[in-house]
């Protein structure tokens, strides 16, 4: 019998309370009781799993799922699911947990929004990225089994894990994807990369030909396939394995250090998308084609926004080398270029060193101009403050002279007191600081 809204036993009320304020141990004991249903509904139609997801309790979510919580329950009064509540909480790990448990990202609530759209509405863009980049593992595992008359699977079982990590990676920067290939020895073979690329092409085709067409996922699979093909070519032709490819993707042109090869590669990958009638492809081409190479928006930023759903790069800092979000280290010389860590800085130094001092000079010049403008503004404010008492005193003297003529001496005394009031003091400044890398690498580190 399906649970009714608000029909809670005392044990179930205690469970919801424990999810909010108690411990996992306490919730586990309650779930072991016969009168506690894991999918019970409160008066609003919320299950314990929805409560745990909304309150960002990852351990509670794990416990409830282990006890059989229904991840796609849709009895909420506004049609919200556990995945929607997870997106609203802003916790990527809980969103991922719901998706791995089988949450349907396409369910609509009472106002016609999906979980991804709800997360975007409240500014939880990291959760939007996780939802939009999710691909069920079982769908990839399908290719690890022989199909039809074929005796061999299209994807060896040993490659499924490494490929799945690349597919579900939310950072689409080509250097980052090459890093993921390079860190796994199983992928550092031409034959392995060709098989992975072929499977991605099959997934792309399936996304475009299925009833519920998914152009975004198809474009992502095609784009990753292009990168794996490029990796395969470099492994076959170069002795240094993928180091030459990484340098090619990072190398900047002389005037401004803009990575031309990277930009052209991404544009070419988009152009090669095999389904010319796709709306997404046409939108990407219309946005990118008129832009001169070296100007904004870059092909990478446009593609990232289309696939992940993130609006540009928002206010976050991104690593110049691999595009990882949350880069907090800066070049200690120019203080304008950000990195994940010193390894990324060393990889980028061979091209950044050509423009580092120029960027430093530009920054110092801008800081000097800003300081002059700030000083000028402070002087104007001080000048206005100093003229205010003078004007007040002038008005008081006028009143005094008028009152003296009428013989009103008490008023004259009051005007004198007012004219003697001191002016206000100027506001103080709050110093700010930033975290820099300990040192810029020497040319020997290139």
Phi/psi at 295 (nearest 5 deg)? -105, 165
Q: Taking the CB of residue 168, how many other CB atoms lie within 10 A of it?
A: 17
Quote the CA–CA distance of 182 and 227 in Å, as a whole number. Answer: 12
Q: Any long-range contacts for 18-24 (C-beta under 8 Å, 24+ apart)?
A: 19/48, 19/51, 19/52, 19/55, 19/57, 19/60, 20/51, 20/55, 24/59, 24/60, 24/63
CB crowding 156-165: b at 16 or more within 10 Å, else e: beebbebbbe
Q: CB burial class (10 A; 0-12, 13-18, 19+) of residue 411?
A: middle
Half-sphere exposure of 432 (CA within 13 A, CB side): 1
Q: Taking the CB of residue 293, how many other CB atoms lie within 10 A of it?
A: 14
Cα-to-chain-centroid distance, residue 159: 28
Determine the CATH number of domain 10-123.
Answer: 1.25.40.20
Name residue 307's beta-bridge partners. Answer: none
3-state SS assignment for residue 110: coil
Query: Torsion angle of alpha carbons 409, 410, 415, 416, nearest 10°?
Result: 80
Task: Give percent of the chain above pLDDT 90.
Answer: 71
Give me the helix-helix angle, 299-308 and 125-132, nearest 10°: 80
Each residue's pLDDT tens digit, 197-255: 999 999 999 999 988 889 999 999 999 999 999 999 999 988 778 999 999 999 999 88
Q: Taking the CB of residue 187, how many other CB atoms lie within 10 A of it?
A: 21
- Per-residue model confidence (pLDDT) at position 133: 85
Task: Give percent of the chain above pLDDT 70.
Answer: 85
- Per-residue model confidence (pLDDT) at position 339: 96
Question: Would you say 307 and 172 are in contact if contact means Cβ atoms under 8 Å apart?
Answer: yes
Q: What is the DSSP letter of 188?
A: S
Question: Would you say 196 and 187 are in contact if contact means Cβ atoms under 8 Å apart?
Answer: yes
Question: Would you say 51 and 24 are in contact if contact means Cβ atoms under 8 Å apart?
Answer: no
Low-confidence residues in the chain, pLDDT < 50 = 312-313, 404-435, 438-446
- Per-residue model confidence (pLDDT) at position 395: 59
Q: How far is CA 328 from CA 310, 338, 341, 442, in A?
A: 20, 7, 8, 21
| pTM score over 0.95 | no
Quote the CA–CA distance of 89 and 54 in Å, as a whole number. Answer: 5
Each residue's pLDDT tens digit, 53-103: 999 999 999 999 999 999 999 899 999 999 999 999 999 999 999 999 999
Question: Would you say 275 and 281 are in contact if contact means Cβ atoms under 8 Å apart?
Answer: yes
- Per-residue model confidence (pLDDT) at position 416: 43
Q: Name the residue with tokens 């395969």.
A: 232
Quote the CA–CA distance of 1 and 37 in Å, as a whole number. Answer: 11
Quote the CA–CA distance of 297 and 68 in Å, as a whole number. Answer: 46
What residue segments make up the domains of the chain, in order of their start? 10-123, 133-304, 315-380+435-446
Q: Name the residue with tokens 């990676």.
A: 169
Question: Would you say 95 and 86 are in contact if contact means Cβ atoms under 8 Å apart?
Answer: yes
3-state SS assignment for residue 169: coil
3-state SS assignment for residue 187: helix
Name residue 325's beta-bridge partners. Answer: 318
Q: Taking the CB of residue 210, how many other CB atoms lie within 10 A of it?
A: 10
């Amino acid at each position: 019998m399906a649970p009714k809204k608000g029909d809670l036993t005392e044990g179930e009320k205690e469970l919801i309370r424990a999810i909010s304020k108690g411990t996992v141990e306490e919730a586990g004991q309650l779930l072991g009781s016969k009168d506690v249903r894991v999918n019970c509904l409160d008066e609003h139609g919320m299950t314990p799993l929805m409560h745990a997801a909304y309150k960002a309790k990852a351990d509670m979510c794990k416990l409830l799922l282990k006890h059989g919580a229904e991840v796609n329950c849709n009895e909420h009064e506004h049609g919200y699911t556990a995945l929607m509540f997870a997106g609203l909480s802003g916790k990527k790990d809980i969103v991922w947990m719901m998706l791995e448990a089988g949450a349907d990202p396409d369910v609509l609530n009472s106002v016609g929004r999906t979980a991804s759209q709800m997360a975007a509405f409240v500014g939880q863009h990291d959760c939007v990225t996780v939802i939009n980049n999710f691909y069920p593992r079982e769908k990839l595992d399908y290719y690890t089994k022989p199909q039809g008359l074929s005796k061999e699977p299209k994807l060896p079982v040993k490659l499924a894990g490494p490929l799945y990590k690349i597919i579900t990676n939310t950072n689409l920067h080509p250097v980052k994807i090459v890093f993921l290939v390079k860190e796994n020895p199983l992928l550092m073979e031409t034959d392995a990369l060709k098989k992975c690329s072929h499977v991605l092409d099959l997934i792309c085709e399936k996304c475009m030909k299925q009833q519920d067409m998914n152009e975004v996922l198809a474009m992502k699979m095609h784009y990753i396939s292009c990168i794996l093909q490029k990796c395969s070519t470099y492994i076959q032709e170069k002795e240094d394995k993928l180091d030459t490819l990484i340098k090619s993707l990072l190398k900047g042109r002389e005037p401004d250090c803009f990575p031309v090869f990277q930009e052209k590669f991404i544009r070419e990958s988009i152009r090669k998308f095999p389904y010319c009638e796709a709306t997404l492809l046409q939108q990407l081409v219309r946005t990118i084609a008129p832009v001169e190479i070296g100007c904004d928006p870059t092909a990478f930023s446009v593609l990232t926004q289309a696939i992940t759903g993130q609006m540009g790069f928002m206010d976050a800092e991104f690593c110049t080398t691999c595009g990882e979000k949350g880069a907090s280290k800066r070049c200690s010389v120019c203080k304008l270029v950000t990195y994940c860590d010193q390894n990324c800085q060393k990889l980028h130094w061979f091209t950044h060193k050509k423009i580092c001092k120029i960027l430093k000079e530009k920054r110092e010049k801008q800081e000097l101009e800003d300081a002059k403008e700030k000083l000028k503004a402070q002087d104007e404010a001080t000048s206005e403050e100093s003229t205010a008492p003078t004007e007040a005193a002038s008005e008081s003297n006028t009143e005094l002279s008028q009152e003296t003529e009428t013989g009103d001496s008490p008023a004259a005394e009051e005007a004198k007191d007012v004219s003697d009031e001191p002016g206000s003091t100027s506001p103080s400044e709050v110093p700010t600081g930033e975290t820099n890398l300990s040192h810029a690498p020497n040319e020997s580190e290139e």
